[in-house]
Structure 1
Amino acid sequence: MTDTHEPARAAEQEPTVLLTTEGTTSVVTLNRPERLNAIDPPTHALLKQRLIDADLDPDTRVIVLTGAGRAFCAGGDVKGMEGETDFGGGDRVLSMGRDLIDAIIRLEKPVISMVNGVAVGLGATIALMTDIVYLSDDARIGDRHVNVGLVAGDGGAAIWPLLVGPSRAKEFLMTGRLIGAEEAASIGLVSRAVPAEELREQVFALADELAALPPYAVRATKASINKTLQLTAAQVLDLSLAYEHLSMKTDDHQEAVRAFTEKRQGHYTGR
């Protein structure tokens, strides 16, 4: 597959999202291992494009999404948030977050998240919005927006209640608690908890199983199920993103970011 969407980075550096193929499987890899694959705006845009490229590739039947190094995705790049009060990009009506979630939901080909390490915040949302999630047994997953003074607006408020019910969703989203793999699988948040040494083998075995089936039947079945997710996202996402946008302008958010970078407890006033 020809790569035509590389961002402007230093010549010696790789793109922040890689797209490779293994037989009939396209592998999309978040590639900022030094930042635990935290997502900055260029990576945000490139991830969306890589997924669309894989979906449009006529030789691809299954897409695997994973992270380079020891993490799947640590979420938004917190170190870049200090002083930041906007995430939509100036005069945009809809945020980049809405664009990415809409794109993931509308991908026709089955997408398996191979969660090889921590998946937090936006990283958790991205994984959970895909079709099947295999989580390494030494990984943890959770949405810690509240811990940096933000509303869980980038999709967490839409997908978590669908997967685990409103009560559990509120417990996890309002505390920002991280969940181990076994618990995540037992409550239905992810499809399976898999021994770390077997994760890749099991994910690609599933990819091969899906690829061997009649492709239209697989894709149309996925599209039918995803109608519920599309309706939920349409009801929830714009409002929750608007709340998140407002929370970015609070003093508590800036204090939370400073506390994170300074490795101390935050002191919050409700402003």
Structure 2
Amino acid sequence: MIESTEQIDVTYEGDVVVVSINRPERLNAIAPETSDQLRETLLRLDDDDDSRVAILTGAGRGFCAGGDVKSMTDRHKPGVAPKKVYSQGRHLMNAFVSVEKPIIAMVNGPAAGLGATLALFCDMVVMADEASIGDRHVNVGLVAGDGGAVMWPLLVGPLLAKEMMITGRMLSGREAADMGLVNRSVPLEQLRKETMDLAREIAALPPYAVRATKTSVNRYVAWMTNLVLEPSLAWEKISMMSEDHQEALAARREKRAGVYTGQ
């Protein structure tokens, strides 16, 4: 049985384990310690004999607001090179790809930037009609490097992926389902039942066949992850050191339009 951590809540309902990002006061935004705790939880799933299917969701009214902008302001300075070759984002996305146990995203509220990526790297996505999903990296002066450039084109094709990721437009649950970005969208009051019914349906199937089938399909995801993730993360690191990124963060804090110079 997997235990909860400070920022990741773990509960069990029969053969289904529910993993909740537990920072509701920040709309479950991902700080460095959140990323580490989520990755460690994911990596324990395959050895967890008490569950056959996992559900990933967010505590409170949001799924995940993306990277924690407050911590970004302190960590990302213009002209300061990163200390590590590989980022936490690489390790977290690779954990999603490598886990054999099925993971269903239950998107109960906003899933933005990294939050959208976390949902889309799950094996299935059930979303509330009232929830929203989109990649907002460009809107804060960053390259969409945490895995969005892997999954959006795989799910909706390059043309729609580029439109959505470059504009940063947020989609409702219904729009996302109609586009084929997520599996289905239901009213918020039905979300938990719909997701749990799907999880229990999968949990009742032969577990090895389920896991091996998922792993077979994930060969495509792993291929694209290996091809795209590392260069896009490198370009994102470069954008983190840009003046435009700092201006975007300042504009967001000050509730004004940003003025960008390309520097």
Q: Shorter-chain-normalised TM-score: which range? A: over 0.9
Q: Counterpart of 2:46? A: 55
- Structure 1 outlier segments of 4+, above 6 Å: none
Q: Deviations over 1:23-56 (max 9, x none)?
A: 1111110000000000100001001111222332
CA shift for structure 1 position 2: 5.2
Pairs within 5 Å for 1:251-266: 251-266=243-258
Report which stretch shifted further, 19-28 or 115-124. Answer: 19-28
1:213 corresponds to which of 205, 208, 215 = 205
Aligned with 1:266: secondary structure? coil
CA shift for structure 1 position 177: 0.6
Report which stretch shifted further, 76-85 or 185-194. Answer: 76-85
Return the TM-score normalized by structure 1: 0.93
1:250 and 2:248 matched: no
Which ranges of structure 2 fall in alignment gaps of 5 or more residues?
none
Report which stretch shifted further, 178-187 or 141-150. Answer: 178-187
2:172 corresponds to which of 167, 180, 188 = 180
Q: Tell me, yes or no, if the aligned pair for 2:2 and 2:41 is still in contact at 8 Å.
A: no
CA shift for structure 1 position 90: 5.6
Q: Counterpart of 1:84? A: 75
What is the identity, as a one-letter code, of the residue corresponding to 1:161?
Answer: P
Q: Counterpart of 2:100? A: 108
Q: Deviations over 1:147-171 (max 9, x none)?
A: 0000000000110000000000000
Q: Counterpart of 2:186? A: 194
Output the CA distance in 1 between the equivalents of 2:256 and 2:70.
14
Q: Counterpart of 1:9? A: none
Q: Tell me, yes or no, if the aligned pair for 2:2 and 2:10 is still in contact at 8 Å.
A: no
Aligned with 1:72: secondary structure? coil
What is the identity, as a one-letter code, of the residue corresponding to 2:27?
Answer: L
Return the TM-score normalized by structure 2: 0.96
Output the CA distance in 2 between the equivalents of 1:56 and 1:264.
48
CA shift for structure 1 position 195: 1.1
CA shift for structure 1 position 20: 1.5
CA shift for structure 1 position 59: 1.9
Q: Tell me, yes or no, if the aligned pair for 2:137 and 2:144 is still in contact at 8 Å.
A: yes
Aligned with 1:135: secondary structure? strand
Output the CA distance in 2 between the equivalents of 1:46 and 1:33.
16
CA shift for structure 1 position 65: 0.3
Output the CA distance in 1 between the equivalents of 2:10 and 2:50.
14
Q: Counterpart of 2:61? A: 70
Q: Tell me, yes or no, if the aligned pair for 1:79 and 1:261 is still in contact at 8 Å.
A: no
Q: Deviations over 1:49-106 (max 9, x none)?
A: 11222332012100000000000000001122225327xx964321110000000011
Q: Tell me, yes or no, if the aligned pair for 2:45 and 2:99 is still in contact at 8 Å.
A: no
Q: Counterpart of 1:10? A: none
CA shift for structure 1 position 254: 0.2
Q: Tell me, yes or no, if the aligned pair for 2:65 and 2:111 is still in contact at 8 Å.
A: yes
Output the CA distance in 1 between the equivalents of 2:131 and 2:229.
27
Q: Counterpart of 2:23? A: 32
Q: Counterpart of 1:124? A: 116
Aligned with 2:155: secondary structure? helix
Output the CA distance in 2 between the equivalents of 1:20 and 1:201.
16
Q: Deviations over 1:125-182 (max 9, x none)?
A: 0000000000101001000000000000000011000000000000000011101111
Report which stretch shifted further, 223-232 or 20-29. Answer: 20-29
1:232 and 2:224 matched: yes
Aligned with 2:75: secondary structure? coil
CA shift for structure 1 position 16: 1.0
Output the CA distance in 2 between the equivalents of 1:148 and 1:41.
18
User: What is the count of residue pairs matched by the alignment?
Assistant: 260
What is the identity, as a one-letter code, of the residue corresponding to 2:251?
Answer: A
1:94 and 2:86 matched: yes
Aligned with 1:203: secondary structure? helix
Identity of aligned residues (%): 56
